[in-house]
Amino acid sequence: MSALNLDDFAHLIERPDGGVRRDAEERRARLAVPPGALGRLDELGEWLAAAQQQVPVRPVERPRVLLFAGDHGVAELGVSARPAGGTKDLVRAVLDGASPAAVLARNTGTPLRVVDLAVDCDPEELPEEVTRHRVRRSSGRIDIEDALTAEEAEAAFRAGMAVADEEADAGTDLVVLGDLSVGGTTVASTLIAALCGTDASVVTGRGGAGIDDLAWMRKCAAIRDALRRARPVLGDQLELLATVGGADLTAITGFLLQSAVRRTPVILDGVVSAACALVAQRVAFRSPDWWLAGQASGEPAQAKALDRIALNPLLDHGVTAGEGTGALLALPLVQAAAALAAELPVRD
């Protein structure tokens, strides 16, 4: 296996085609619908045209929901409303069609895929197509130990890259990205605080499941302790992910970067995908041009990360369920923008 050099992404990732975007803007100006009447839908249609390198834009016909799954040792501290090691139940609910994301995916006709990187269960308890990229069983407790070894971090990153290639090769034209984890918001908030240079209290939220004041204080303390371990390794993004990330977040970061290489647009979900996007931006500054922020989750860390990478959420409905739900809610809006840009007639 050749050595993984993250600096390569800065050279491999190009921005969506600016010339095509200008052509899309000119075409929009010739539509019968007055300029500005479609609001942000015009911007979305032009962004998709640039990503596809095509005017008029193609309708989004082959989207896919991708949920990266993993447990986190920091959950043992009682930082989540869910029990430590409970990600297996979240995965099972998705596979059984009983989670919000599964319901929305089913009703929009969007295929859904779960990728297990570090779920705390025997691999035999989940389908082989879910576990085949697994790196380890749970990630380390980041307040006192590394989440991953250097070898595990590289394996997780490469797994995310491989998933991006699999989707691009399968013809997926838009990815709806989410995560399934217990303790993931604590890890994500640590990464965002470290990269933004802020204190733990600034980024500590209540999590998707909601926590009481005592759990919030435990979460804040865990992030504070993890930040002490994160700051010395801020110059190396893969080492940062190994130190205070986890297998799932490391894979998501690799996925986001390789998806940008493959010109696959991605809708981000909540604070976990926002944290990975922030790490990926540090690797390749052009990569955020390939992403949309699906919705504001209410997590302060997500807001800080999205502000840093200049992404404005499409929706803000107060949905805190996570697990890809917010990104899925934004999918019909993106599809509508593509359909309008593709099908509205131009004036003679």
Angle at 219 between CA 216 and CA 221, to 5 degrees: 110
The whole-model pTM stands at: 0.96
The residues assigned a catalytic role are: 323
Same fold, 14-58+339-343 and 63-333: no
Which CATH architecture best describes the domain 14-58+339-343? Orthogonal Bundle (1.10)
CATH fold for domain 63-333: Rossmann fold (3.40.50)
The one-digit pLDDT tens for each residue of the chain (348 residues) are 457 999 999 999 999 999 999 999 999 999 989 988 999 999 999 999 999 999 999 999 999 999 999 999 999 999 988 999 999 999 999 999 999 999 999 999 999 999 999 999 999 999 999 999 999 999 999 999 999 999 999 999 999 999 999 999 999 999 999 999 999 999 999 999 999 999 999 999 876 567 888 999 999 999 999 999 999 999 999 999 999 999 999 999 999 999 999 999 999 999 999 999 999 999 999 999 999 999 999 899 999 999 999 999 999 998 888 899 999 999 999 999 999 999 999 886
| CA 52 to chain centroid | 20
Beta bridge partners of 70: 118, 181
Q: Cβ–Cβ contacts within 10 Å for residue 90, how many?
A: 23
Q: Which residues contact 336 (CB under 8 A, 6 or more apart)?
A: 41
CA distance between the termini of the chain: 57
Domain boundaries, the chain: 14-58+339-343, 63-333
